[in-house]
Structure 1
């Protein structure tokens, strides 16, 4: 039986982040889009996803969604039949990065969330190319939809997150580690490190993509995920 697919978005993103893949995969499997909002701790966000997820499922998370995915595997490895970690980070937040979030939190609380997303957060994460502006506009629109309270809560969750390297070493299911070649936030070398930690992981670098390959290079990203979904099936 084809297992359901649970997708986890990145920070300040919703189902639109995964829309090309949802369209591609929904023809032959149940696709569940799980929001990661409503809590200020990664552990609680993972528990919320598990509360509503199928009994056993394939799991893919991008960026903050990948961090939550690692916590889900730590809590319930028997429920995850395969895992894909896209443009993410298994390390705990460093004090300088945690401190750098504070001005963004203040700006979001004071009504400047769109400015934070458009001018400071998203632009450096995306690859150069013809779709860059369209992707940036969509990122800003998703952030506007979710609002400043979600931005603050997700920022706090990232500041407080735990190191997940030990979790990666214990992954025993088919695993895909995927990264856009231009991702400056979670660079390729970090994903090479992650793939080395996971037994039998497959590493995929998406040409012409930055931090959001699902939108920047949807066909290549979908193709890589399709191979992952077929592994061991």
Structure 2
């Protein structure tokens, strides 16, 4: 763990820990090039699930462990209170500590919700935004779309011996209220998050056996739902934006990627044709190529 507070040391390879608003924030640095903060999904999914060595070839990747996740500190109201506004403050606090003015910000899934919220409120801090498997809304509309996509997944995989267990895992997510049960549910449902899990089972076996998740609720510190609807604010977004989604993603798939693309002025859209929710693992070359083209096309 690095303790020197100089910018150079805070961006040196490896694990780091800083304090923002009295809470310890952990992050991990790999690669070289322009700085890109990467925010994982869930909320609560372990940061290693988002690590992408192909991006580290041309970016200094700063993989964030969001508050409450992994070894970053938990809020006093844990598991509640992890609003996008709170996550945003920890991200901008990290940028302040790193003495960075404008960076790339990549958010995956729930991390995408946080990233687009940050871009709307602090566009001056960002050189570019990558919304990876994100959506402009949460709530009933998104759940209805996800249910329809799950039905398509079931149809494509009818007869697979592992299908019932995966569907049971998906159901269990809704009832989990601690780290152990949310992790077990995530591991069980992982095939649904991938385009062709059973055809590539050996390649994803280690991920399924080791991925972990912290239980974080969708409630704010007062116990109220932190619902998302960015349709009114995204048309005013000025940050150059790349939207990426997997063709087979059941959670934040092509419908939402297309809507984000239409809402955000001058945005780029990249659909990974052979991926689900984890295209950086399923099609790492195509994923990295899309990000590389976007980065190189974005003014310094």
TM-score past 0.5 threshold: yes
> Is 1:188 matched up with 2:230?
no
CA contact (8 A) 1:105 1:152 kept: no
Determine the structure 2 residue equivalent to 1:46. Answer: 88
Aligned residues: 220
CA contact (8 A) 2:187 2:211 kept: no
Query: How far apart are residue 215 of structure 1 and its match?
Result: 0.9
Residue 182 of structure 2: aligned partner: 113
CA displacement at 1:31 relative to structure 2: 2.3
Between the aligned partners of 1:174 and 1:103, the Cα distance in structure 2 is 38
Q: How far is the alpha carbon of 1:152 from its aligned partner?
A: 2.6
Q: Are the aligned partners of 2:172 and 2:185 in contact in 1 as well (CA < 8 Å)?
A: no
Q: Any conservation in 1 of the 2:247–2:272 contact (CA below 8 Å)?
A: yes
Q: Cα RMSD between the aligned structures?
A: 2.8
Deviations 1:21-73 (A, max 9, x none): 443234xxx32112223252121011111110232111111101100101111
1:185 CA displacement: 1.0
2-structure distance, mates of 1:4, 1:43: 22
Higher relative contact order (CA 8 A, sep 6+): 1
Moved more, 134-143 or 184-193: 134-143
Looking at structure 2, the residues matched to 201 and 37 of structure 1 have their Cα atoms a distance apart, in angstroms, of: 29
Matched, 1:58 2:100: no
TM-score (norm 2): 0.65
Structure 2 unaligned residues grouped into runs of 5+:
1-32, 69-80, 148-169
Q: Is structure 2 residue 38 aligned with structure 1 residue 7?
A: yes
Q: Does the 8 Å CA contact 1:7/1:60 hold for their aligned counterparts?
A: yes
TM-score (norm 1): 0.82
1:103 offset after TM fit, Å? 5.3
**Given the alignment of the two structures, is residue 177 of structure 1 paired with residue 254 of structure 2, yes or no?**
no
1:124 alignment partner in structure 2: 192
- Say whether residues 1:208 and 2:274 are aligned partners: yes
Decide which of 57, 63, 67 is 1:24's aligned counterpart.
Answer: 57
Distance 2:244 2:259 in 1: 12
Structure 1 partner of 2:123: 77
Q: Does residue 216 of structure 2 align to residue 152 of structure 1?
A: yes
Q: By percentage of residues, which structure has more helix?
A: 1
Q: Distance in 1 between matches of 2:179 and 2:111?
A: 26
Residue 107 of structure 1 aligns to a residue whose secondary structure is coil
Q: Which protein is bigger by CA-based radius of gyration?
A: 2
State the alpha-carbon separation in 2 of the partners of residues 63 and 136 from structure 1: 22
Distance 1:140 1:114, change over 3 A: farther
1:96–1:208 distance in 2 versus 1, CA, 3 Å: closer
Of 161, 164, 182, the residue aligned with 2:230 is 164
Any stretches of 5+ residues in structure 1 without a counterpart?
A: none
